[in-house]
């Protein structure tokens, strides 16, 4: 197995020898959990563009990655936070991404896809009203539905700024949900993922906010497939899960505790809509296949080594987790470069990427250790690590 030099601490370099990758079995379908991977986008690094100002997407490689996820039995959550929505991916590019993915899904039997609709084209500000937020949501929801897509109703930075309290959230969601053609997935994205969403639902405390959210879910349950909460706190998710209206799913967005939340307990389980499933897709699919067979031991054996990797990728500042997700795609050959929308490849240090490499190797997730090692060396060389 290949050996390479990896930084271990400021100014320290040590040799590291990789292990053989795991052979994850192809899962029997269908799973007994609904499982979406929030998917990243692949940049065209040779396009003539200004990376901080506009996205340049390699559409072929981006759609090929979605086909890969579908081939494993995973659904695709499109144009979400993992695709750098709101961190470089603008509305125009997001809608084109949704259009292309929906078109590709038509050729894949059983392909599942849901797409993000929000208000990211409406800049928050003192002059933005709640009615402006409603119109922005309506515009995006209408566009996604015209494309034939199911909606994931994303949290709104503009609503966080415009709302005077919980009643404004209730009014906005009731108005939008009253118009959608089919049940949506609500996304409560915590401030650790996006600081601009602090105080969502009109409450600073998450448990107080949960009460507001549960009231909204109860009032609009017929138009809601489920809710994805991304608070990185399993106790909050479990407490909310046990109080959901009948027929409303809990989609875990907890990239720290997903294994035990998906496995569930004697009072229920969470389905999944996770950014980490982009990076650990073969393991996720194999584990879900084991769960379908009620083989909990194998389920946990597969996922347990991925949890330290996920916690590292999503460590604070959590909003930069996309860097780790794309780095995993680069190491595993899903793209030929480590370039991101908005230049976000620079958002994590060489030490962070080196630890990611070690944890991915420990989880058996480096599909080709020779290729991964060569690519790790190339990235480290640009950051001053000489081999």
Tokens read off for 124: 């928050």
pLDDT above 90: residue 126: yes
So what's the pLDDT on residue 387?
A: 65
Domains in the chain (CATH in brackets) are: 22-304 (3.20.20.70)
pLDDT above 90: residue 54: no
So what's the pLDDT on residue 10?
A: 87
Query: What Cα–Cα distance (Å) separates residue 227 from each residue in 59, 157, 189, 250?
Result: 29, 18, 10, 5
pLDDT digits (tens, 9 = 90+) for 346-380: 999 999 999 999 999 999 999 999 999 999 999 99
Query: What Cα–Cα distance (Å) separates residue 144 from each residue in 65, 69, 101, 149, 226?
Result: 21, 21, 12, 5, 18
pLDDT digits (tens, 9 = 90+) for 174-203: 999 999 999 999 999 999 999 999 999 999
So what's the pLDDT on residue 68?
A: 98
Mean pLDDT of the chain: 97
So what's the pLDDT on residue 52?
A: 86
Task: Write out the chain in H/E/C secondary structure.
Answer: CCEEEEEEECCEEEEEECCCCCCCCCCCCCCCCCEEEECCCCECCCCCCCCCCCCCECHHHHHHHHHHHHHCCCEEEECCHHHCECCCECHHHHHHHHHHHHHHHCCCCCCCEEEEECCCCCCCCCCCCHHHHHHHHHHHHHHHHHCCCCEEECCCHHHHHHCCCHHHHHHHHHHHHCCCCCCEEEEEECCCCCHHHCCHHHCCCHHHHHHHHHHHHHHCHHHEEEEEEECCCHHHHHHHHCCCCCCCEEEECCCCCHHHHHHCECCECCEEEECHHHHCHHHHHHHHHHHHCCCHHHHHHHHCCHHHHHHHHCCCCHHHHHHHHHHHHHHCCCCCCCCCHHHHHHHCCHHHHHHHHHHHHHCCCCCCHHHHHHHHHHHHHCCCCCC
pLDDT band at 49 (very low <50, low <70, confident <90, very high): confident
pLDDT band at 57 (very low <50, low <70, confident <90, very high): very high
pLDDT digits (tens, 9 = 90+) for 197-251: 999 999 999 999 999 999 999 999 999 999 999 999 999 999 999 999 999 999 9
pLDDT digits (tens, 9 = 90+) for 242-280: 999 999 999 999 999 999 999 999 999 999 999 999 999
pLDDT above 80: residue 386: no
So what's the pLDDT on residue 9?
A: 87
pLDDT above 90: residue 384: no
Percentage, residues of the chain above pLDDT 70: 100
Percentage, residues of the chain above pLDDT 90: 95
Q: How far is CA 220 from the centre of its chain?
A: 25
Q: What mean pLDDT do residues 7-19 have?
A: 93
Rounded Cα–Cα distance for residues 370 and 367 (Å):
9
Q: Are 224 and 177 in contact (CB under 8 A)?
A: yes
Q: ∠311-314-319 over CA atoms, to 5°?
A: 165
Q: How far is CA 35 from the centre of its chain?
A: 12
């Amino acid at each position: 197995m290949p050996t390479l030099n990896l930084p271990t601490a400021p100014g320290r370099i040590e040799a590291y020898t990789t292990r053989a990758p795991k052979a994850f079995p192809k899962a029997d379908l269908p799973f007994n959990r609904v499982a979406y991977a929030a998917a990243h986008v692949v940049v065209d690094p040779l396009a003539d563009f200004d990376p901080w100002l506009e996205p340049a997407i390699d559409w072929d490689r981006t759609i090929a990655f979605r086909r890969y996820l579908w081939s494993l039995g995973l659904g695709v959550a499109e144009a979400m936070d993992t695709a750098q929505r709101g961190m470089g991916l603008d509305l125009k590019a997001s809608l084109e991404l949704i259009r292309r993915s929906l078109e590709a899904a038509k050729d894949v039997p059983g392909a599942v896809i849901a797409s993000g609709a929000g208000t990211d084209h409406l800049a928050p500000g003192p002059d933005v009203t709640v009615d402006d937020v409603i119109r922005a949501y309506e515009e995006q929801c209408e566009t996604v539905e015209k494309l034939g897509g199911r909606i994931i109703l994303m949290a709104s930075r503009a609503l966080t700024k415009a709302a005077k309290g919980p009643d404004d959230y209730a009014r906005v969601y009731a108005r939008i949900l009253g118009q959608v053609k089919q049940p949506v997935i609500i996304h409560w994205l915590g401030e650790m993922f996006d600081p601009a969403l602090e105080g969502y639902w009109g409450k600073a405390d998450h448990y107080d906010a949960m009460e507001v959210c549960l009231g909204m879910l109860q009032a609009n349950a017929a138009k809601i497939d489920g809710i994805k909460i991304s608070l990185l706190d399993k106790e909050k998710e479990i407490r909310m899960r046990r109080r959901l209206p009948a027929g409303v799913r809990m989609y875990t967005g907890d990239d720290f505790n997903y294994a035990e939340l998906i496995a569930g307990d004697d009072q229920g389980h969470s389905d999944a809509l996770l950014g980490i499933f982009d990076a650990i897709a073969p393991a996720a699919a194999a584990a879900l296949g084991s769960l379908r067979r009620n083989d909990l031991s194998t389920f946990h054996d597969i996922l347990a080594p991925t949890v330290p990797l996920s916690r590292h990728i999503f460590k604070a500042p959590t909003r930069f987790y996309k860097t780790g997700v794309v780095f995993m795609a680069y190491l595993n050959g899903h793209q030929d470069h480590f370039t991101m929308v908005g230049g976000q490849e620079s958002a994590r240090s060489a030490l962070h990427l080196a630890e990611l490499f070690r944890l991915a190797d420990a989880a058996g997730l480096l599909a080709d250790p020779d290729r991964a090692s060569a690519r790790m060396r190339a990235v480290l060389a640009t950051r001053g690590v000489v081999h």
